Structure 1
Amino acid sequence: MYFRLHLGRKAVWILLIVLALLAVYPVIFLSAGSLMGADELEDCLGAVVSGAEGYASFPVLPKYPTLQHFVEVLLDSPEFFVMFWNSILITFGVLGGQFVAGTMAAWGFARYEFPCKRGIFLLYIVLMLLPFQVLMLSDYLLLDRLRLLDSLWAVILPGMFSTFPVFIMYRFFAEIPDSLIESARLDGAREWQLFWYLALPMGSSGIIAALVLGFLEYWSLIEQPLTFIKDKSKLPLSVFLPDLTMTGKAGFLFAVSVVTFLPAIIVFMGGRDYLEQGIMAGAVKE
């Protein structure tokens, strides 16, 4: 019985390792391609890129590593830097608005009673489930009336008031013990002090989890910028990749892909623990 159980665990581990390697392979593929020279890429991907005869092959490690493509991206591509800066402005503008509006809305839903509270919160959840395509027309008409089309604010403003961060933060704020809040009120704490000194520190895990998820979402936006922005100089980096082709620029495309997904990986790894806590229910218990 013990032997079968031990053998079953090994089989599960082997299966998980194989699945993990399959999931990580695209990252390895991009990283290796970004370090290959033009000739080596032509030899490996000639059948795909230039229509050469034969089959495509791709080694795990490049034979002759080079940083030529990264130099081309980081030093010789001003358009890349413009779009990279646009992505920074959009992403952190949205996250700043979600931190201000989302935390206050979540705290209000979690700790205050007001008319139609359940109905409004249900509306929040319904809006969270609706895809962008459903709200695209109404957003476009509203942004047009506000004269914000063809600007970064056309993407930032709708994202600032997203309902998804409110849903995540609400669960953490709702788990703060009532006795702790009442004790603070008896000690003379005002409502803004409860929010600033009690809600934000104790709900920090949910706040960071929501911001991490928000970064991963808005760093890779494609539909919203293409819908609301026509000026190419204002488009984010996520729109830069689809415009590139493999023909003659395979190494450049690989390098751009690596530089693009690197910030998302860094943010995800840095906020992984908070993200796990955000997925778990009820982090604070009385």
Structure 2
Amino acid sequence: MRLNFNLCNLEEKVKNSALSADRKEAREFQTSSSGLFFKVKKVLYEKKSAFQKIEIIENDFYGRVLFLDGLVQTTEKDEFFYHEMLVHPALAIHPRPEKVLIIGGGDGGALREVLKHPVRKAWLVEIDQEVIKACEQYFPWLDEALADPRAELAIADGFDFIQKTTERFEVIIVDSSDPVGPSAILHARDFYRKLKKILKPDGLIVAQAGSQLLHLREHSQKAAFLRPMFRFARFYSAPVPTYPVGTWCYTLLSDRIDPLAVKKLRLPDGLKYFNAEVFRASFAQPVFFEQALQKKE
């Protein structure tokens, strides 16, 4: 799940609907002067929840497309790029992931991927129940995942949940919005300190971190506080065709497990993108990105 970085300060230019006035196109401005558009075959769903505008359209190439406040969250065509790269790097290297916490991810893709592993229980914490309802209707993988007896849904604020839970987790997945605006709290030092308190000693935290190109400053700031906090704080990246600039970043954190030292991955069946070669390659970063991570704020 994500929030557009470059539109946060556009004030009157920001609109929370992706649909054009004639409802023939759905558009996302990924910067103030560029973006992505979809021709609308059919508008499937529209609703304003207490938190955001929810829209689902059908497109000839991408299939069903979910927008929240005018921003692409997931499409039937390319969702596996994002969800497999968010979930499997951590689940494939932990020796015994029994309890998994997912913060955000109301479209259900992350939960579906977690349940491909032999976990004992997986919690999905989503603040907006209307997103759950819409995705259960139009993205059937969510309904199937929630029907799994190992899955537990909590309609709650993720920050509140981690402060109140008495559970301890082997893997925590942060499928939050991008590191700006109201969601900035889920990318801040205090949030990660609280996550670490509910993480088992050999546990892993993985979080989506935003666009490789558009969020350079945020990546630099995050690296500055995560590296002293965790023995291993690794950034990795992978393509997501319908996300801004097309390359998306993630952080993988642990005090016990270094992903670069793991020799063998535990891969489930049925994957479409993630494999051992992709895993290793995803930690190789371009020069400009490495320079941003090393920059002192």
Q: What is the TM-score of this pair, normalised by structure 2? A: 0.24
Between Structure 1 and Structure 2, the one with more strand by share is: 2
The structure, 1 or 2, with the larger RCO (C-alpha pairs under 8 Å, 6+ apart) is 1
State the structure with more CA Rg: 1
Between Structure 1 and Structure 2, the one with more helix by share is: 1
